[in-house]
Structure 1
Amino acid sequence: MSNYIQMKLTPILLSLFMLSTMSCGMNSHIDNPSVKVPVPIQLFNGKDMNDWTPKIRLHETGENYAQTFRVEDGLLKVRYDGYDEFKQQYGHIAYNKPFGHYILRVEYRFVGEQAKGGEGWAWRNSGAMLHGQSPQSMLKDQDFPISIEGQFLGGDGTSERTTSNLCTPGTHVHYMNELFTPHCTSSTSKTYHGDEWVTADFVVLGDSIIRHVLEGKTVLEYTKPQVGGGNVSSFDKQAKPDGKALAEGYIYLQSESHPIDFRKVELYDLSAYKESPEKLNSIIQQIIK
């Protein structure tokens, strides 16, 4: 991203440049341990879903159809034992506060068998939706929130299948310095097979840069998230102003027909440091190790 050197380096652009030149998974000269890492916000408290709002296709916002989302054994679980058939009832559950600058850490594992009627592509498929529209602005028949998706995929024990990929329901990004309009692109991650726990980090800096990180290494990076494109249906047109930069939004966890457990969903709020690039990057490096 050397083209940024030629531009006036506002705090956000400087953050973008410094992030892009950091060595993945290693400390650099801007590391400053004297800058304290903020205490993470536990979006999932291990006890209930009081801070979350479900939105399941074909159902009204707030209706947790068939207890798709539930808390058991200290885990936030997605289950389909109350479904006769999946019938494209894609589900999402949104944290009730929007964020713009943060690191999101999600620990997840796929379990069990896919719900009857789930599409083949949805086998061991879920995700964390970033910069999403509010659940209250989604229509009853809408399939996905307009958002940036950090896609979770599980392996079949044999084939390679990356995770922490990118999908873009109703959105676009810039990838490899160009506007990226396809719906999904794969990360460079390894494959996680079976029911093992996976920790996925997402470094989200407003409408400048988003990084997907696994085991301390960046596996995907893109910039300039914005509203646009397709791959979302039955939405309110007023909720989709194409071309609008996405600087903040709601975080969702996904239900796409395969059971999944979440044992940690925590967020480091970086908004206080967005005008201080060196402090911001020091904090990020201390968290992402």
Structure 2
Amino acid sequence: MLFNSCATQKNNVQSRWIDLFNGKDLTDWSVKITGYPLNENFGNTFRVDDGKLVVRYDQYNAFDEKFGHIFYNKPFSAYLLELEYRFVGDQAKGGPGWAIRNSGAMLHGQDPKTMGVKQDFPISLEMQLLGGDGQRERHTANLCTPGTNVFLNGKLFTPHCIESKSKTYHGDQWVRAEALVLGDSLVKHIVEGDTVLTYTKPQIGGGNVINHDPAQKKDGQLIKGGYISLQSESHPIEFRRVALFDLAPYMNDRKRLQAVLQQLQARKNP
């Protein structure tokens, strides 16, 4: 009986995953590229190819700081986001040097409808995804903070980026990255099952975002939820899985939340 009960709980956890990307098209996603209005997908930057959500620049003459984001159309407050990604090919002509094998998943982002036409990044927390160059150590699932700040080790952290303690992933290999986001309290970045960065009290503040509506940037305000988006920063990237487990129903019951988190952590184990 205990075995059957455990199996049922495991199946219930598996069934509650939401595939944000359906593997077929960009239904439920909106595109915002710097310099263009919402849902003008310049150069067919974001597209579906062979069952993957991909970022391409083959229709660009030059990148010219056309930073872009593709937003899932529903906001979330507490969740586990799971991505499987890989970098491929060469950087777009004119892309900045720092953006080679560089992309990201934006967490707790502002509503794309509130972004300025020339705004470069949404006010958000970026789980920065980096690929290795084949030689040097280069961590992934770092944190960058366009228009935000966080608490790190109990203290307000205001620099723009902090590196995780992840391994380096060279070449075109697939990497599994996760973000555990619990409202305005706790965020963890996880790579291949290892927690590589933890921070708390995400809030609006700081710089590193331009051409935004000042009314959207209320410094010091804790961020309880927001939109998830994936970046185009000049290097081609592919996502074969973009899925989410909604933890909001468990946030008022700590015991249930911990039980679900334990099941999620164990789901990859035999």
TM-score (norm 2): 0.93
1:233 matched to 2:181? The reply is no
The answer for the alignment partner of 1:60 in structure 2 is 37
User: Which of residues 67, 80, 83 is equivalent to 1:90?
Assistant: 67
Q: Does 1:77 align with 2:33?
A: no
Q: For 1:288 and 1:59, locate their aligned partners in 2 and report how far apart those are by CA, in whole Å.
A: 40
Residue correspondence of structure 1 range 75-224 to structure 2 within 5 A: 75-224=52-201
Q: Which runs of 5+ in 1 are unaligned?
A: 1-30
Assess if the C-alpha contact under 8 Å between 1:33 and 1:286 holds in 2. Answer: no
Aligned residue number for residue 247 of structure 1: 224
**CA 45–84 in structure 1, closer or farther in 2 if over 3 Å, else same:** same
Q: Spell out, residue by residue over 1:166-187, the C-alpha distance to the aligned partner (whole angstroms, 9 max, x if none).
A: 0000000000100000000000
For residues 73 and 216 of structure 1, the distance between their equivalents in structure 2, rounded to whole angstroms, comes to 27
Aligned-pair CA distance for 1:286: 1.7
Q: C-alpha root-mean-square deviation of aligned residues, in Å?
A: 1.4
Give yes or no for contact 1:33–1:282 (8 Å, CA) kept in 2. Answer: no
**Alpha-carbon distance between aligned partners in 2 of 1:32 and 1:202, rounded to the nearest angstrom:** 25
Is the CA contact (8 Å cut-off) linking 2:175 and 2:192 kept in structure 1? no
Query: Quick one: distance in 2 between partners of 1:32 and 1:225?
Result: 36
| 2:117 partner letter | K
Q: Deviations over 1:106-142 (max 9, x none)?
A: 1100000000000110000000000000111001100
Check whether the contact 2:46–2:56 (CA below 8 A) recurs between aligned residues: yes
* Maintained 8 Å contact 2:149/2:203: yes
Per the normalisation by structure 1, the TM-score is: 0.87
Identity of aligned residues (%): 58
Aligned length: 259
